Amino acid sequence: MTRSEHDTETLIRDSLDRLAARAPDGDAVRDALARAGRQRRPATKLALVAAAVVVLVAGVFVGTRAITTPDLDPAASRPVLGYSPGWLPDGFTEQYREGGPGTAPQVRRWFAGPAEVTLSVYSTADPEWSQTELRIASIRDQVLVRGRVAMVTGDTGTAALITWLADDDHVLTARVTGVPEARLVALWIAQGVTAAPVGVRGELRFGALPAGLTERSAAVKGTGPGDASTELTAADPARPSVPAVRVTASAGSPGVTGAAPVTVRGGQGFFVAGREATVAVRLPSGRWLTVSGARPEAELVAVADGVRLDPSPDYRWLGRATS
């Protein structure tokens, strides 16, 4: 059912009223942040947290715009992620980045032992996220993020998810798990997010893909440069959320015991049959290239043969708090 302009305005007005009714005292916010074990922040930044839960200006929406620089231009298998956090809890290091062309989600993850922080960006051009503003307006558990109404879901005390619109084109989420006072930690993180882009440059780039498949995503992950890996996926445009082919470069052996020999990239490779078949070959660097998917052997070999290797991947940010 399509909502009228009047219904939309009513939802937003009601959401602002709920925010005003639920706003806690600023001293209570500071006490809760201290219990979460964070270092004392400058007064100007503490004001941002208070602003997130106290309505200062009703109905004012402040957005941010993604920016790019000449050395951060999106390219095939080299996506640019448009947003970065300004603050993270102590001890968290970035270990995952993923993005892709078009409306593909952008994902960044930080870990501290079992605890995790995830910052995700979605396009409002994606039908799944096109009605997010109305969903936020209709939910009861709301806060303010950079002057815009946001919703809180999954609040368990040690986990929370905050969702907001950075502008008319981008929906952002900040998810925190395994952290005391997770709601306030997620809110603090959300308040500090800005349109500061970072790149994803792994050691692989797609070459020619089988007919009917297009590039879906590129990801880099690892606890540090020493165990870094790159993963590319391709999909059928009719089912963009389902990877049809997955290509990985990593130091770990994919397990080829009992595999059939096959020629890959002009050398000895291996083929493992199954519902998700796999082609693997050891690269001159000693690392392993694997291609898997529910596709014929010849297609997987062709993908492996066409993959281009990047001699200078950017793994420097792995294992660091921010880049």
The CATH architecture of the domain made up of 80-199 is 2-Layer Sandwich (3.30)
Residue 178: its H or E element: none
Largest CA distance in the chain: 69
Round to whole Å and give the CA distance between 63 and 194. Answer: 10
At 219-275, the pLDDT tens digits run 999 999 999 999 999 999 999 889 999 999 999 988 888 899 999 999 999 999 988
- The answer on pLDDT for 2 being more than 90 is no
Report pLDDT for 257. Answer: 81
3-state secondary structure of 209: coil
Report pLDDT for 111. Answer: 98
The residue behind tokens 């109905």 is 59
**Lowest mean per-residue pLDDT among 7-16, 72-81, 210-219, 303-312:** 7-16
Q: State the virtual CA torsion across 222, 314, 162, 184 in degrees, nearest 10.
A: 70
Report pLDDT for 72. Answer: 79
Q: Please state the domain extents for the chain.
A: 80-199, 204-309
Round to whole Å and give the CA distance between 132 and 134. Answer: 5
At 280-290, the pLDDT tens digits run 999 999 999 99
List CB contacts of 260: < 8 A, sequence separation 6 or more: 270, 271, 272, 273
Cβ atoms of residues 98 and 86 within 8 Å: no
What is the reported pTM? 0.80
Helices 43-53 & 182-192 angle (0-180, nearest 10): 110
Round to whole Å and give the CA distance between 162 and 158. Answer: 13
- The answer on pLDDT for 49 being more than 90 is no
Q: Do domains 80-199 and 204-309 have the same CATH topology?
A: yes
Q: Which candidate, 87, 93, 59, 319, places its Cα nearest to that of 184?
A: 87
Q: Which candidate, 183, 185, 194, places its Cα nearest to that of 152?
A: 183
Residue 297: both structure tokens together: 């052997």
Residue 250: both structure tokens together: 């990593």
Residue 30 phi, psi dihedral angles, 5° rounding: -60, -40
Helices 26-35 & 182-192 angle (0-180, nearest 10): 110
Report pLDDT for 203. Answer: 96
Checking DSSP bridges between strand 198-199 and strand 115-123, what pairing results, if any?
unpaired
* pLDDT confidence bin for 207, thresholds 50/70/90: very high
At 18-31, the pLDDT tens digits run 555 554 444 544 45
CA atoms within 13 A on the CB side of 155: 15
Q: What is the DSSP code (8-state) at residue 253?
A: -
Average pLDDT value for residue range 184-205: 96
Report pLDDT for 13. Answer: 58
Average pLDDT value for residue range 48-72: 37
Residue 97 phi, psi dihedral angles, 5° rounding: -140, 140
CATH class of 204-309: alpha beta
Report pLDDT for 179. Answer: 97
Cβ atoms of residues 272 and 290 within 8 Å: no
Report pLDDT for 36. Answer: 46
Residue 17 phi, psi dihedral angles, 5° rounding: -65, -40
Average pLDDT value for residue range 118-147: 95
- The answer on pLDDT for 51 being more than 60 is no
The Cβ of residue 222 has, within 10 Å, a number of other Cβ atoms equal to 18
- What average pLDDT is seen over the chain? 84
